[in-house]
Every structure is written in structure tokens, then in C-alpha cells.
């Protein structure tokens, strides 16, 4: 049995809580959050506190709060020599206070309150200062995911950077396209099958092999037409930069 | 019964052929292609020609060839007053020769030889010079898709531009991230659940609501860290432009 306390209850921790609380091998001893949270069924029996001094004894403390608050908050915890981990992709293990044994439990996924996700395929990136803690985190991860991997803070920083490209920036491309369609009174729904297939395609095909479009065909006529359509648009710069990069990248390979 | 001849047999037409040939209401009379194609089972009985002068009589001729060849090729067809459509997002209906009745049959999707797609959810964008032809194209489209929509060449140009953003550019972001991971000897597989969830999320959530990341949080520390990681990378410019755009776009909304 692993006893867990959640410190903070944003998107990551609330999703982690929902899935970990279902496991026989796990007991969620308590949820701490700065602000009161009304726990709804079937979770109304999980103890809650908003008082740091009343945090209960546990095997693992999981911090899920904004990146820039992790360091100060971990310093403020009123206990010592416990295993305290955070769940952030972009913050190194060293940011945690060394009052406690430090670790990382980073589920590589985009979470929102609106969607319940199956954790089975979600990579859980773990890191710890000593072997025993690493094994404990692996055990915790394996109760919910088939893909628990040890990754150093240094590599995790790169992984997080790559995640920003495929998640934040990709979503912004969706946003741009929805605006282009809105101007023409066309529903964004038209693009959804394409968006889903673009993501599904690379399950079996490398992005390099999946790449298509006017830029890599060197289709100057279409590119010119697109630049004309974007004449007064703030998205013209992005179009130009992508086209230039694609030409350069695939031109080399021809 | 609608009789169809395919002119050209690239990714779009070969996928259209496979799905249309399954429909009781459709007969594929012939496939024309400049180069010989060996038809494999169960299609070995579909007539083939590489000779323009031997193209058979049909209700609809579907051109699926490179964009810049459509105009000249349609001019070279040795018949008149037939319904000739092309399948390209980026080419206007007017590019087709007016020797024949012109139309558009544009399935809005990314096709590859490696993947067989279900057409049911794929939007089919149709256009024609007269009502009767438009109805014929609608009938053809509705045998395979639940989403047949009439869209003018002008609007289709914008739709195609938006498709370039969500398909070509998004796939390039996948490519960039796979390179970032490769440098660290991390498998690209780690990002696949995130990529799929990013695309799935906007099924029910607008891209605007789904947007997350350091740029819209104005998280200067993380952005600085990322720019440092990209110090000698050719992708730094894209990171900077996205970050700037996201800040501007979401800053306004705060």
C-alpha cells in the first residue's frame, strides 16, 4: 500500500487523483489546497485541508501547483526527510527544497478539468535522488500507466520544450485556422477530421514521411496565392517562416 | 447508377476509388493514368488506360493530378460537354477547361497510400457551374460521406489555406519535436499520446479555450529557459514568433 497526499489541486493533480484513487494499491490520505475545494461524489470522503500545518503523514507527497511557486512552497512544508515530488515538465528536481527527499512524477499529457483521460498510455517521467525512492515512484506510476520512464531533469527540460511545440504551438495553429474559417463564415468542424488524421498518421509514419504541402513540393504558385490571401493578416509572418523552414529542411533531403 | 472515370491515380484518387468502388450506386468505368498501374485484388477487373484518346464515356470524370497540371490536362481531354471535376483544395474551378462542364469534388483530408480511411466523416466540398451537376456531385458525395457541403472556389481557397496550417505546419512541428528528442536519445513515441490528445481535445473545446503553455501564462522564466535550450537551433525563430504571437493574442483577451 502506498499512501499519497496531494499538495495543490489544479488540472494535473485532480486528474492524477481521480485515477490513483481508483487503485487498490493506493490510498489518498488527504488533499491540501490553498483554497477550499468541494469534493463531489464519489470523492466526498477524502480528507481535505487548507492548512499546511495539518498535512498528514504519507509515503509520497505530490505537488501540483504553478511552476514558479514550487520552490517556495516546498520550502514551507513543516516536515522533513519525506519523499516530495512535483509534476511539472519544465522545473528541475533541484528546485524542490532539500528539507525532504526530492523526486519527479511528470505525466506527459495535456490535462483539463473537462476531459477524463485514460492514463494507461500516458508516459510517466520519474526521477529521484535515491534508488529506493525511484522504485517507489515507479511502483506508483505502474499502477496507472504502462509507460513509466526514468528521465533526468536535463532531458526532461528538452522533452518539455518538444511538448510545447507539439501541444501549445499546434493548438495555436488550430486557433489561426479557426479564425481564417470564421472570416469566411465556414464552420471549424470542417477541419476536425483533418486535424485528427494529421495526429493519427504519425502513429505509424514518421513526421518526415508524413510531410506534404506546397512548401515541400516547391509549389510557388500556391504559396504566392496563400501569401496574397494573408496580405493583411498577422499570420503572414508565421506562414512565411514555416514555408522557408520547410523548403530548407526538405530541399536538403531532395 | 453513376458512372465514374478516374483521371490520374495519386493519393486522393486512389483513396476515392477504393471507397467509391464499394458502393452499389457507383460504377467505376475506367482508370486513366499516364503511367501503367498494376491493379491488385479485388480491383484487377477495373479497366485501365494510359491513352487519353481511349477514355470511356461516363457521367463524371474525376481529375486527381498535381495542381499545376490540372489546367493543361483538362484542355487536352478529347471530349466535350461532359462533367469534369478536380479534387484539389488549392485550385479554382475556373482553372478547368471550359470545353466541358466544370465542377469540384474536394475531400478535405490528408491521404497517403499507407492508410485506408473511412470517408464517412470526411467533408466533401463540391461546386459546379449548374444546379443539375451540383446535385449529381452531391449524390456522388453522399454515397461515401455524411458531410457534403457546397463551397465556392473563393471560400475553398481560404479553407485550403487553413488546412495548410493545421496539417502541413502542424506536421512540421511534430518533425521539429522529433529532432529535439532525437538529440537527447529520447524516443518520439513519448510524445504520441500528447499529440493525439491535443488533436482530440478540440473536438469539444474551442482551440482558444484549449490553449495552455508558458506564453499565455506570461511565464518569462520558462520561456527564457527554452530560448536558452534553443540557443544554437534553427527552430529558435519559430519558438520566438509563436511566443510573441501567443502573448499578443491572449494578452489582448486578459
pLDDT at B253: 56
How many other C-beta atoms are found inside a 10 Å radius of the C-beta of residue A51? 8
* Selected residue with higher pLDDT from A4 and B42: A4
CATH of the domain at A195: 1.10.1040.20
Contact B161 A172 (CB under 8 A): no
Provide the shortest C-alpha distance from residue B230 to chain A (in Å). Answer: 9
Chain A residue numbers with beta carbons less than 8 Å from the beta carbon of B180 are: 158, 161-162, 165
Q: Which among B123, B168, B219 has the least Cβ separation from residue A190? A: B123
User: Of B106, B122, B151, which one is at a domain's C-terminal end?
Assistant: B151
Chain A residue numbers with beta carbons less than 8 Å from the beta carbon of B190 are: 108, 123, 147, 149, 159
Nearest to B11 by CA among A242, A252, A197, A229: A197
Whether A38 and A64 map to the same domain: the answer is yes
Contact A186 B158 (CB under 8 A): yes
Q: What is the mean pLDDT of each run of 10 residues along chain B (254 residues)?
A: 97 95 95 90 90 98 96 98 97 98 98 88 98 98 98 98 98 98 97 98 94 90 95 96 94 60
Strand partners, B85: B62, B103
3-class DSSP assignment, residue A200: helix
Q: Is the pLDDT of residue A254 over 50?
A: no
CATH of the domain at A71: 3.40.50.720
Whether A146 and A170 map to the same domain: the answer is no
Whether A88 and A180 map to the same domain: the answer is no
- Confidence grade of residue A175 (pLDDT, cut at 50, 70, 90): very high
How wide is the angle at C-alpha A193 spanned by C-alphas A190 and A198, nearest 5°? 125
Structurally, how many domains does chain A consist of?
2
Question: What percentage of chain A exceeds 70 in pLDDT?
Answer: 99
Whether A106 and A172 map to the same domain: the answer is no
Is the CB of residue A199 less than 8 Å away from at least one CB of chain B? Answer: yes
Tens of pLDDT, residue by residue over A14-51, are 999 999 998 999 999 999 999 988 888 888 889 999 99
Q: Is the pLDDT of residue A253 over 70?
A: no
Tens of pLDDT, residue by residue over A219-242, are 899 999 999 999 999 999 999 999
The Cα–Cα gap between B143 and A103 comes to 56
Q: Is the pLDDT of residue A142 over 50?
A: yes
- Which of these ranges, A103-117, A142-156, A181-195, has the smallest mean pLDDT? A103-117
Is the CB of residue A151 less than 8 Å away from at least one CB of chain B? Answer: yes
User: Of B131, B151, B171, which one is at a domain's C-terminal end?
Assistant: B151
- Confidence grade of residue A73 (pLDDT, cut at 50, 70, 90): very high
Whether A215 and A140 map to the same domain: the answer is no
3-class DSSP assignment, residue A185: coil
The Cα–Cα gap between B70 and B93 comes to 10
ipTM of this predicted structure: 0.95
Whether B145 and B102 map to the same domain: the answer is yes
Whether A240 and A129 map to the same domain: the answer is no
Q: Which among A112, A169, A184 has the least Cβ separation from residue B201? A: A112
Contact A176 B165 (CB under 8 A): yes
CB B107 within 8 A of CB B123: yes
Contact B177 A196 (CB under 8 A): no
Q: Which among B68, B170, B206 has the least Cβ separation from residue A221? A: B68
Whether B67 and B14 map to the same domain: the answer is yes
Whether A96 and A162 map to the same domain: the answer is no
Is the CB of residue B232 less than 8 Å away from at least one CB of chain A? Answer: no
Domain with A90 in it: 2-151
Whether B182 and B120 map to the same domain: the answer is no
Model pTM? 0.94
Interface of B with A in 23-62 (CB under 8 A): none
Whether B56 and B164 map to the same domain: the answer is no
pLDDT at A112: 83
pLDDT at B250: 87
Whether A46 and A60 map to the same domain: the answer is yes
User: Of A132, A151, A170, which one is at a domain's C-terminal end?
Assistant: A151
Average pLDDT rounded to a whole number, residues A212-218: 89
Provide the shortest C-alpha distance from residue B158 to chain A (in Å). Answer: 7
Amino acid at each position: 500500500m502506498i499512501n499519497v497526499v496531494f499538495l495543490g489541486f489544479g488540472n494535473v493533480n485532480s486528474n492524477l487523483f481521480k485515477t490513483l484513487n481508483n487503485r487498490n494499491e493506493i490510498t489518498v490520505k488527504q488533499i491540501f489546497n490553498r483554497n477550499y475545494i468541494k469534493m463531489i461524489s464519489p470523492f466526498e470522503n477524502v480528507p481535505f485541508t487548507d492548512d499546511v500545518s495539518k498535512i498528514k503523514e504519507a509515503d509520497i507527497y505530490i505537488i501540483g501547483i504553478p511552476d514558479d511557486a514550487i520552490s517556495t512552497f516546498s520550502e514551507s512544508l513543516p516536515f522533513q526527510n519525506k519523499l516530495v515530488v512535483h509534476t511539472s515538465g519544465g522545473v528541475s528536481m533541484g528546485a524542490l527544497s532539500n528539507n525532504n527527499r526530492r523526486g519527479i512524477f511528470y505525466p506527459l499529457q495535456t490535462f483539463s478539468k473537462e476531459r477524463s483521460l485514460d492514463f494507461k498510455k500516458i508516459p510517466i517521467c520519474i526521477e529521484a535522488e535515491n534508488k529506493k525512492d525511484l522504485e517507489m515512484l515507479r511502483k506508483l506510476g505502474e499502477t496507472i500507466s504502462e509507460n513509466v520512464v526514468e528521465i533526468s531533469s536535463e532531458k526532461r527540460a528538452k522533452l518539455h520544450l518538444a511538448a510545447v511545440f507539439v501541444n501549445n504551438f499546434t493548438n495555436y495553429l488550430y486557433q489561426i485556422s479557426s479564425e481564417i474559417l470564421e472570416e469566411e463564415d465556414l464552420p471549424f468542424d470542417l477541419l476536425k477530421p483533418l486535424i485528427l488524421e494529421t495526429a493519427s498518421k504519425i502513429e505509424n509514419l514518421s513526421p518526415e514521411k508524413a510531410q506534404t504541402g506546397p512548401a515541400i513540393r516547391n509549389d510557388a504558385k500556391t504559396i504566392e496565392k496563400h501569401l496574397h490571401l494573408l496580405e493583411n493578416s498577422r499570420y503572414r509572418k508565421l506562414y512565411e517562416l514555416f514555408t522557408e523552414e520547410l523548403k530548407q529542411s526538405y530541399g536538403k533531403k531532395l
